[in-house]
Amino acid sequence: MKAKIDGLIKKFKIELAYRSGQEGLAVRGKPSAAEVAELKALKGEIMAELKRRAAEREAEIEVARAEVAARLEQKKREYLATADLRRCLVCRQDEFLNVTWSIATLSYNAEQDCYFSAEYGLANYVALEHVTATMEKISQRKDSKFYGLECVAWEITDEEEKALLAEQVPAKEKAEKEAAEAAERKAAEEAAQKAAADAARQAKFEEARETGEPVLLQKWSEPCNDPREECSLDIVQQYAMPDGSVKTERNHTW
């Protein structure tokens, strides 16, 4: 019977299929009426065989994954046995002179007297968003070493790492406070500038009303708005009129 099931699966490339949550079979090709009847009669056995094969494949995949993980773990152990890993404060300056700080585990190469990235996910990278007193103190030391083309790094102790991380909290609060204060100052300045501009504009309308003459509000240049004119630039002027209206004049240039 198994040979027959295997033959039908191979002939019609049968696969497990699901429709509206119902389990079924996907059959390719054009089976005859007799073959359709046979497929229906053996549907349960075919589905069982397909599930067995799927489970077998999944088991093989799991074995392969376990073997890969074991090899990786072995290489990691070998790496840890030979690598000179050090916890470091890292300063990176990119081509645009943007400076970023972080803490990372790096691999020290004594022959080249520089650091390389730690392998096998051992970097344990931590970004430092704010410059603090401990960062500045460490960065003044003369024992920095190159790390790649854009970074320098200083080896740090556990106590220094704890201090660096602890300082980030108040530094963040301070930065947020300063940012909020700066935003308030900017808003106040913009409001004052707007109030001054509105007052100056209103004064020109008062002047126009008192003198009975137009008073220039603003003047600017912009592309010509008339394709029939042989000019590329218009001079536009706006005037405050004695009746409180605004008059716009446009002059073409040649």
Q: What is the pLDDT of residues 173-206, one digit of tens each?
A: 999 999 999 999 999 999 999 999 999 999 999 9
What CA–CA distance (Å, rounded) separates 59 from 48? Answer: 16
Same domain membership, residue 104 and residue 196: yes
Same domain membership, residue 227 and residue 126: no
Q: What is the pLDDT of residues 93-133, one digit of tens each?
A: 999 999 999 999 999 999 999 999 999 999 999 999 999 99
Same domain membership, residue 204 and residue 245: no
What's the pLDDT band for 83 if we cut at 50, 70, 90? very high
Our measurement of the distance from residue 245's CA atom to the centroid of its chain's CA atoms, rounded to an integer in Å, reads 51
Per-residue confidence (pLDDT) for residue 227, from 0 to 100? 81
**Domain stops at, among 77, 99, 115:** 77
**Domain stops at, among 49, 77, 105:** 77
Beta-strand relationship, 85-93 and 114-117:
unpaired
Q: Which residues pair with 250 in a beta bridge?
A: 236
Q: Over 80: is that where the pLDDT of 157 sits? A: yes
Half-sphere CA count of 170, side-chain side, radius 13 A: 7
Q: What is the pLDDT of residues 5-57, one digit of tens each?
A: 888 889 889 999 988 888 889 999 888 888 888 888 889 899 999 999 999 99
DSSP one-letter code for 118: P
Same domain membership, residue 194 and residue 161: yes
Same domain membership, residue 90 and residue 66: no
Same domain membership, residue 101 and residue 154: yes
**Number of domains composing the chain:** 3
Per-residue confidence (pLDDT) for residue 7, from 0 to 100? 87
Residue type, 236: V
Q: Which residues contact 158 (CB under 8 A, 6 or more apart)?
A: 87
Residues in the chain: 254
Same domain membership, residue 198 and residue 118: yes
Same domain membership, residue 120 and residue 63: no
Give 160-227 as a DSSP string.
HHHHHHHHHHHHHHHHHHHHHHHHHHHHHHHHHHHHHHHHHHHHHHHHHHHHSS-EEEEEEEEE-S-T
Same domain membership, residue 133 and residue 240: no
Residue type, 182: A
**Domain stops at, among 19, 44, 77:** 77
Same domain membership, residue 125 and residue 94: yes
Domain enclosing residue 54, as ranges: 2-77
Residue type, 12: F
Same domain membership, residue 182 and residue 120: yes
- Round the CA-based radius of gyration of the chain to a whole number and report it: 39
As a whole number, mean pLDDT of residues 60-82 equals 95
Same domain membership, residue 104 and residue 201: yes
What CA–CA distance (Å, rounded) separates 254 from 251? Answer: 10
